[in-house]
Amino acid sequence: MVAEVVKESEAEAKPKAEKQTNCLACNKLIKKLKHYYRNGKFYCSKKCWRAFIDKSKLDEKK
Ligand SMILES: [Zn+2]
């Protein structure tokens, strides 16, 4: 089976769905070994996760 083989031209034409690589709170690049995963999103630390939750809560109250 060669189903996994993708033609080069095909790969270029399709825009790759980018993986989330930046912290949602501080927008820092998240390194593989050091990330905090919550609710399907990545943050660089627990602190940033809390910050993002607090921020989104404030936005909801508007
Ligand atoms: Zn962060």
Spatial CB neighbours of 28, under 8 Å, sequence gap ≥ 6: 22, 44
Q: What is the torsion angle, in degrees rounded to the nearest 10, for the CA atoms of residue 39, residue 40, residue 44 and residue 48?
A: -30
What are the residue ranges of helices labelled H in 1-62? 8-13, 46-61
What is the distance in A from the centroid of ligand 1 to the CA of 13? 32
How many angstroms does the Cα of residue 1 sit away from the middle of ligand 1?
42
Rounded to the nearest angstrom, the distance between the alpha carbon of 33 and the centre of ligand 1 is 14
Q: Is the Cβ–Cβ distance between 42 and 19 less than 8 Å?
A: no
Q: What is the pLDDT of residues 4-30, one digit of tens each?
A: 665 555 555 555 667 788 888 899 888
30-56 confidence digits (pLDDT tens): 877 678 888 888 899 899 999 999 998
Which pLDDT score is estimated for 18?
A: 72
47-to-4, 12, 21, 57 alpha-carbon distances in Å: 39, 38, 17, 15
Ligand 1 centroid to 8 CA: how many Å? 35
